[in-house]
Chain A
Amino acid sequence: MSAAVTPQQPAAVTRKEPKPERLIDRILNWQFPERARGVVTWISVVLLLVAFALLVWGMVSAVSYTLTHTGPPCTNPPQREASPPQWVMVGVCLLAFVLGHLTARWQSIDPKHSQRHKNLREVDHPETDPRKREALIIQTLLLVFLVEVIGLLIIEAVTLSQNVWPITYYVRCAYDAAGVQSMAAAASILFLVGRWFWLPDRGQNARTRS
């Protein structure tokens, strides 16, 4: 039950003291010096190139092995313990996830690009909205994603119903047969996920180039 404020109480008592900034907020709100902003952008680009190369390497290795061999490169069923150990895999993936988030948070965005998205409800003529094309791209990507999910679900359902390896075993087999390469691909995926799906609200913690 809150106490009623009487006129006799001084104003200083009723006014809330500003809370001290938490350590996590201080870390998240920490800003790079002006000269370092471009460096972060280039670090992001380099790390993205590395992630792209690792993903392509993993994909080419998996597809080429499948095309040139009849059996899997691991035991049946695949072992769950291989080299490097699972805790190393998880640790590296978590580090990549945080690294992806930090590079996305600290890289600079031109305000003219970020400002375009903030006036979403102020368009008088939606038909002539220049963002229409961008929305179409997003919806197309969403459609592709959903179609791929349907494909994966069909494979999973059919293989399980016929007593064949589920997709989980593909991942486990890759770890069993090529642990370091699988760890590199998994870390690349987590780096991208950290960039795309753990993003601060612009204007609160993250910053744009001002």
Chain B
Amino acid sequence: MLEHAPREAVGFVALVGLSTLALLAVSDIFLTESKRASVGEWVTLWAKRYPMFALALTLVAGALLGHFYWATAG
């Protein structure tokens, strides 16, 4: 049986993972309210400009999400 995670690790994951999304949500609120190009527009433009880099990042992000949220063993 695996041991419990250290509280520092849990705190880091909770803080980093959720605060980043919360900050991006705030920026999206600002962009939406001022009718500027949204975060998604920025992502699209960036991916069009650097398609290979975007592909690599997408693969990394997809692998991470699959690893963290779609584990079926245990």
Contacts and interface: CB of A to CB of B under 8 A. Distances in A.
Contacts of B18: 55-56, 58-59, 62, 185
Contact of A171 (B15, B60, B68): B68
A102 interface: no
A84 interface: no
A74 B20 CA distance: 26
Contacts of B35: 41, 108-110, 113, 209
Given A110-B36, A168-B71, A192 B24 contact: yes
A114 interface: yes
Contact of B22 (A44, A55, A63, A170): A55
The SS class assigned to the B binding surface is helix
Interface string B33-54: 1011111111111100100000
B11 A76 contact: no
Given A59-B22, A77-B1, A66 B68 contact: no
A197 B32 contact: no
A39 to B, nearest CB: 13
B55 interface: no
A44 B12 contact: no
A117 B33 contact: no
Contacts of A143: none
28 contacts: A41-B35, A45-B32, A45-B33, A48-B32, A58-B18, A66-B11, A104-B40, A109-B38, A110-B36, A120-B45, A145-B20, A148-B17, A152-B16, A155-B12, A155-B13, A163-B2, A164-B5, A164-B9, A165-B2, A165-B4, A166-B71, A188-B21, A192-B24, A196-B24, A198-B40, A201-B44, A202-B41, A209-B35
Interface of B: 1-7, 9-22, 24-26, 28-29, 32-33, 35-46, 49, 60-61, 64, 67-69, 71, 74
Interface of A: 41, 44-45, 48-49, 51-52, 55-56, 58-59, 62-63, 66-67, 71-72, 76-77, 104, 107-110, 113-114, 117, 120, 138, 144-145, 148-149, 151-153, 155-156, 159, 162-171, 185, 188-189, 192, 195-199, 201-202, 209
